[in-house]
Chain A
Amino acid sequence: MSETLLEVRQARKHYDDGNIQALDGVDLSIAAGEFITISGPSGSGKSTMLNLLGGLDTPTSGEVLYRGKNIGTEIDLDVYRAMHVGFIFQAFYLLPSLKAIENVQVPWLGGSCGVSSKREETARELLCELGLEHRLQQYPAQLSAGERQRVAIARSLANNPDILLADEPTGNLDSVNTAKIMEILKGIQQRRGMTLIIVTHEDEIANSAPRHIRMRDGRIL
């Protein structure tokens, strides 16, 4: 049995002075190296769950632990996101004014910058790993949707995180690119032994993971 990497204990998340209850006392344990999908209808709380797991938000009550330490009190949220988590978004969120190779380096610029040439070399390797060696100098607007998502995946790997969180990573892609991105994500998870958590609407993607969590009304079914 692998060690527990992430643990959610009785997490509740309220918005609008308690009028909206996004999470309602959720418990969840995730092992290191696990591949999990979370699905559910709109408003089920799956994105809120992802935000808590990624340190983008904190629960109104309850706690989220990373290797047994409380995220937000024992571990600084910024440090947690910078060192342990890679995010992939449905809308890619690449910076339009930066080239592909520069976009991959953005996470490094948030902390200690490191040596510029080393950063660039690592970014080049990541993009090559994702089959984008011919698109390094292109701007996001010059890339296809599938290529943009691959750049975003490379960016999520820049800090060599141990958790990869993807929020509807194929939501803006056609079926060919969806299959390609899923193949890439699974390959990365297996090669690197990372914990991969994907939030999705699509049953086929949800069922492709060894562990599938369904949510409704802020609870795990």
Chain B
Amino acid sequence: MGIGAFVALVGFSRSFEVGWKKLYEVAGTDIAVIQKTFMNSSVDESDGATLNALPEIAAAEPMVVNMMDITPEVNALVYGWPENAYEFEPLKILQGRRFHGDTQEVMLGDLLAESLNKKAGDTLELQGTTYQVVGVFHGGSALEAGAVILPLEQMQRLSGMDGKVTAFHVRLKPALPGESPEDHMHRAQDAIQKALPGLKAVPAAERASNNQLVILAHAVAWGTSTIALLVAALGIANTMAMSVFERTREIGVLRALGWKRRRVMLLILIEAAGLGLVGGLVGLLVGIGALHLLAAVPQTAGIVSGDSLVAWSTLGEALGISVLVGVLAGIAPAYRGARLSPVEAMRHE
């Protein structure tokens, strides 16, 4: 169950991260400009003019993002974008139209619209304000499919961020002839940070991995998984202690037949590792099943994408951790087994 929890939780948080990366990739965002502080959630909107004046930048767009309760059961990412944001380009309008200017209009991702049973022309209440649903779109990322997009100014008011934005999303102009992608990125980062010393220009991929929501999701996933793994380790330690106790006589016979202490210890550790591995494989199946369930449940479908459920690296980590937990949990029983006197062990009933 510990490995199941690990796969489900870490897979969930990684799926969230993959969703962010895809969101930037599909929109063509190269850099996110944020505050240097850890809680980098508030940047002056007026800095946009400075950014757009830089020769390296094709477009710098302000955006506000927050997680909000849409209904008591459904949370969603809510984005505030300018009416003419380049990030609209990859979105496919399925119903209705885009919003116009600073109006009380919203657009819903298709997954969210389906789970809320809303269509263009309906209304949606956000934080006590009623908005008209003017369009339903299909986005390139699961995060957009389960998101709400509304005019930037409306979102600033909803979030109490007048004149402030969460970040600027930046598209760069093409690299200079012969310039490597890395040099291109560094040149743009340097230019932005020189023009706006209080801010940080983060490559989009890095921003996807390091934004507060992803960091929080990873931290919760690892924290909860660690507790579950500790419980699993106690279970394995108990199983191995019982196994050593029940096989005390057998261990005594092996010692009498010339098995060295370290060989007996190795035997018990290998068994503990095997127990961890088998438990890990079962846990993998449970975890993958749980993730598929999360991808199908409306409350979480907007975060967990079906096409990026579990990375091979996560499966490898899970199996590695399960074997490691087995070995660590087996150390004390193995030490006890190896220390047994052959004579006393063979007398054991």
Complex contacts, B254 vs chain A, CB 8 Å = 106, 110
Q: How far is the CA of A189 from the CA of B343 in the complex (A)?
A: 25
Whether A110 pairs with B263 at a CB distance below 8 angstroms is: yes
Whether B258 pairs with A82 at a CB distance below 8 angstroms is: yes
Whether B256 pairs with A87 at a CB distance below 8 angstroms is: yes
Q: How far is the CB of B130 from chain A (nearest CB, A)?
A: 71
| Known pairs A95-B250, A110-B263; A81 contacts B343 (CB<8 A) | no
Whether B256 pairs with A56 at a CB distance below 8 angstroms is: yes
| Known pairs A93-B253, A106-B254, A110-B254; A56 contacts B343 (CB<8 A) | yes
- Any B CB within 8 A of the CB of A155: yes
| Known pairs A93-B249, A93-B253, A111-B263; A78 contacts B258 (CB<8 A) | yes
Q: Mark B325-349, 1 if CB is under 8 A from A, else 0.
A: 0000000000000000111001000
Q: How far is the CA of A51 from the CA of B346 in the complex (A)?
A: 12
Complex contacts, B258 vs chain A, CB 8 Å = 78-79, 81-83, 85, 107, 110-111, 159
Q: How far is the CB of A65 from chain B (nearest CB, A)?
A: 19
Complex contacts, A106 vs chain B, CB 8 Å = 254, 257
| Known pairs A51-B343, A56-B342, A93-B346; A87 contacts B257 (CB<8 A) | yes
Q: How far is the CB of A103 from chain B (nearest CB, A)?
A: 10
Complex contacts, A169 vs chain B, CB 8 Å = none
Q: Mark B247-290, 1 if CB is under 8 A from A, else 0.
A: 00110011111111101000000000000000000000000000
Q: How far is the CB of B159 from chain A (nearest CB, A)?
A: 65
- Any B CB within 8 A of the CB of A27: no
- Any B CB within 8 A of the CB of A40: no
Minimum CB distance partner of B344 in chain A: A57
Whether B341 pairs with A54 at a CB distance below 8 angstroms is: no
B contacts with A: majority SS:
helix
Q: How many A-B residue pairs lie within 8 Å, measured between CB atoms?
A: 53
Complex contacts, A54 vs chain B, CB 8 Å = 256
Q: How far is the CB of B210 from chain A (nearest CB, A)?
A: 50
The size bracket of the interface on B is 10 to 19
Q: How far is the CA of A107 from the CA of B253 in the complex (A)?
A: 10
Residue picked from B249, B257, B261, B342, most chain A C-beta under 10 Å: B257
The size bracket of the interface on A is 20 to 34
Complex contacts, B253 vs chain A, CB 8 Å = 89, 93, 95
Complex contacts, A81 vs chain B, CB 8 Å = 255-258
Complex contacts, B249 vs chain A, CB 8 Å = 93
Q: How far is the CA of A72 from the CA of B258 in the complex (A)?
A: 14
Complex contacts, B256 vs chain A, CB 8 Å = 54, 56, 81, 87
Q: How far is the CA of A93 from the CA of B342 in the complex (A)?
A: 13
| Known pairs A56-B342, A56-B343, A93-B346; A111 contacts B260 (CB<8 A) | yes
Whether A110 pairs with B260 at a CB distance below 8 angstroms is: yes
Instruction: Give A100-149 interface residues, CB cut-off 8 Å to B.
Output: 106-107, 109-111
Q: How far is the CB of A91 from chain B (nearest CB, A)?
A: 9
Instruction: Give A23-46 interface residues, CB cut-off 8 Å to B.
Output: none
Q: How far is the CB of A114 from chain B (nearest CB, A)?
A: 13
Whether B263 pairs with A57 at a CB distance below 8 angstroms is: no
Q: Among the listed A51, A57, A79, A110, which residue makes an inter-chain contact with B257, where contact means beta carbons less than 8 Å apart?
A: A110
Complex contacts, A57 vs chain B, CB 8 Å = 341-343
Complex contacts, A56 vs chain B, CB 8 Å = 256, 342-343
Q: How far is the CA of A87 from the CA of B346 in the complex (A)?
A: 12
Q: Mark A154-192, 1 if CB is under 8 A from B, else 0.
A: 010001000000000000000000000000000000000
| Known pairs A56-B343, A95-B250; A155 contacts B260 (CB<8 A) | no
Q: How far is the CB of B330 from chain A (nearest CB, A)?
A: 19
Minimum CB distance partner of A78 in chain B: B260
Complex contacts, A107 vs chain B, CB 8 Å = 257-259
Q: How far is the CA of A57 from the CA of B340 in the complex (A)?
A: 12
Minimum CB distance partner of B254 in chain A: A110
Q: 10 pairs across A/B with beta carbons < 8 Å?
A: A54-B256, A57-B342, A83-B258, A85-B258, A87-B257, A93-B249, A95-B250, A109-B263, A111-B258, A111-B263
What are the nearest 8 A-B pairs in CB distance? A82-B258, A110-B259, A81-B258, A93-B253, A107-B257, A78-B260, A56-B342, A110-B258
